[in-house]
Chain A
Amino acid sequence: MSAPRLGRARHPPLPRTASRRPGRAARLGVLGWTGAALVTVVLLVALVSLLWTPYPPQAADPYARWAAPGGSHLLGTDASGRDVLSLLMAGARTALLVAVLGGALAGLTGVLLGAVGALTPHRVRTATAVLIDVLLAFPTVLLAMLLASVLGGSLGVVIGAVGLGFGVTIARVLRGEFRTAAASDYVLAARAAGMGPVRILRDHQLPAVSGVLIVQLSWTMALAVLAEAGLSYLGYGAGPEVASWGRMLADMQSYLAVYPLTVLWPGLAVTLTGLGFTLLGDGLRDAGGRR
């Protein structure tokens, strides 16, 4: 005797549409796509610079100092006769290196601190929340200067400062997201199915915060590009052997009155790259919000 299957026969089959994860539709919007395009251009330039630049970026030609744009040096040369275009291209590499490694470190810091601040027993959780707030009040630039005074200025210091400094900001945002996820019915259901905390974190809570994390990472990478330029400009970042937009600005600013164009290029590069990551983050946030 087969049990009656009420309801099954009456249901029409599911409509044949492609199955999609919510919020993953590519609806970045015009500004988001603009950001994505800017970031892609910078990435391509950085990749090309690994294989080819018009001149070796650090090759100084004492007979071609302050060469005017055009001719054999498309964007001219600087005070020691280095090709500005080559420096700019190699500078993209440095900016992206800091953005990617600093962003990764910040993401890791943010996820770890955020999870500990949200999912541990009451006391640990509260203590972590206080720690996050204290660290948040500590300026990232100051952190970098502190690190540099101990370790000496280097890109590693910039990456470390960006990772820790901005990681705390991410932690504060993710803490709230983790709390929301932890209080959700579906996490209750997962616990009721016998799943342990580690699996629930992996299968439910990390995916739940991933959308917000991606947006935060994009914004963090914008800040990382600005921080690298700023810290290298101040002398806490890239050494003289590394091509950096911040260093270019520092090197050229004394000649600003005479050769204004030379400052324009690295300034523009920093601005457009930072803007690219920011717009991309905005676009991702809006796409997620339209879930």
Chain B
Amino acid sequence: MSGATGLVVSGLTIGINGERLLDGVDVAVAEGQRVGLVGGSGSGKSLTLRAVLGLLPSHAALGGSIRWDGVELLGAPERVLARVRGGEIGIVLQDPATALDPLRRVGAQITEGARRHHRVGRAGARALAVRLAEEVGLPSPADAVDRYPHELSGGQRQRVQIAAALSAEPRLLLADEPTTALDTVVQSQVLELLARLGRTRGLSTLFVTHDLAVLRRAADSASVLDAGRVVEHGPVERLLTSPVSATARALRDAARLTSWDGGRP
């Protein structure tokens, strides 16, 4: 309730231009939890994440409630949202090719959140950038922070995004299909990195994906989204072994086709 820590989204509805895109979505991520949000393309996964940070277009009509540590974020003043954004909840976007500013050095982008939230100076920012670059496993971190994004590979850029999302030390990480644009080997490395960061930093995660094989490594429980509604919720293993909803079954079957470990439960 109002004293609860973590994220509690309840009955979230989103309408844009008279079209109801999200219809009563419930998702909760308590301290230290790893929760998944799965669903097909266009089911409303990204909209849900953007709504949490108050980053939907201004003409979007919102209903329901989004509570962070008991504080209502829906309709909260910009001042409250600015504190939460980056400082308490970080986000990693789907496409590493577009999520970084092509004209800004990697180091400056990594520490944007830290400079905004923790008054880190110029010299401190550089040291922090190198430290974070090292933590997320960028090769030659002291060199990498002086590069521009086009000089890095897709997987490296995704590591930069993760470092940037962590720089202001948030407690919750929203991950919007962070591995979808990567090849399977790199995908596996990034999942490993996120799992390690979750452990070492005590980070909760809300992990969005359409791939149950990926979900299995990134979350313990998950909600299944279909056309803006949650159709099923439960532990990931159960979603894999005995999905109830047609959507979850379809996602499971698709995962069996693409995952190398086949139908291993």
Q: Give residues in A with beta carbon < 8 Å to B.
A: 3-8, 11-14, 17, 19-22, 121-122, 184-186, 188-196, 199, 203-204, 207-208
CB contact under 8 A between A6 and B85, given known A191-B55, A195-B112:
no
16 contacts between A and B (CB under 8 A): A6-B189, A7-B189, A11-B139, A19-B147, A22-B103, A22-B150, A186-B98, A189-B91, A189-B99, A192-B85, A193-B113, A193-B167, A194-B83, A194-B116, A196-B82, A203-B108
Pairwise interchain contact A204-B168, C-beta atoms closer than 8 A: no
In the complex, the chain B residue whose C-beta lies closest to that of A210 is: B103
Q: Is B86 an interface residue, CB under 8 A from the partner?
A: yes
CB-nearest residue of chain B relative to A184? B98
The answer on a CB contact under 8 Å between B139 and A13 is yes
For residue B151, CB closer than 8 A to chain A, the reply is: yes
Shortest Cβ distance from B204 into chain A, in angstroms?
16
CB of B44 within 8 A of chain A?
Answer: no
Q: Are B200 and A3 in contact (CB under 8 A)?
A: yes
- Taken together as a complex, chains A and B put the C-alpha atoms of A13 and B85 apart, in Å, by 33
State in angstroms the CA–CA spacing of A204 and B246 once bound together.
Answer: 44
* Chain B contact patch, size range: 35 or more
Contacts of A208 in B (CB 8 A): 101, 103
Provide the bound-state CA to CA distance between A17 and B146, in Å.
12
Name the distance in Å between A163's Cβ and chain B's nearest Cβ. Answer: 27
Q: Please, how many angstroms separate the alpha-carbon atoms of A192 and B116 in the complex?
A: 11
Measured CB to CB, the closest approach of chain B to A119, in angstroms, equals 12
Task: Name the residue on A nearest B84 (C-beta).
Answer: A194
Which of B82, B87, B102 has the most chain A CB atoms inside 10 A of its CB? B102
Q: Which residues of the partner chain A approach B151 to less than 8 Å between Cβ atoms?
A: 14, 17, 19-20
Inter-chain CA distance A196–B85, complex, in Å, is: 11
Contacts of A207 in B (CB 8 A): 101, 103-104
8 further A-B pairs in the complex, CB-CB below 8 A; given A7-B155, A122-B58, A204-B104: A6-B189, A11-B139, A19-B147, A188-B93, A193-B116, A194-B85, A194-B116, A204-B101
Cβ-defined contact, A189 with B164, below 8 A: yes
Q: Decide yes or no: A6 and B192 within 8 Å by CB, A20-B148, A207-B104, A208-B103 being known contacts.
A: yes
Residues in B193-246 with C-beta less than 8 Å from chain A: 193, 196, 199-200
Q: Which residues of A contact B167 (CB under 8 A)?
A: 193
Q: How many Å lie between the Cα of A140 and that of B58 in the bound state?
A: 37
A14-B140, A195-B112 known; A7 vs B161 contact (CB < 8 Å):
no
Are B112 and A7 interface neighbours, CB within 8 A?
no
Minimum C-beta distance from A104 to chain B (A): 22
Q: Are A185 and B98 in contact (CB under 8 A)?
A: yes
Q: Are A14 and B199 in contact (CB under 8 A)?
A: no
CA distance A189 to B231 in the complex (A): 29
Give the distance in Å from the alpha carbon of A91 to the alpha carbon of B192 in the complex.
68
Contact partners of A122 in chain B: CB under 8 A? 58-59
Looking at A11, A17, A121, the one whose CB has the most chain B CB atoms below 10 A away is A11
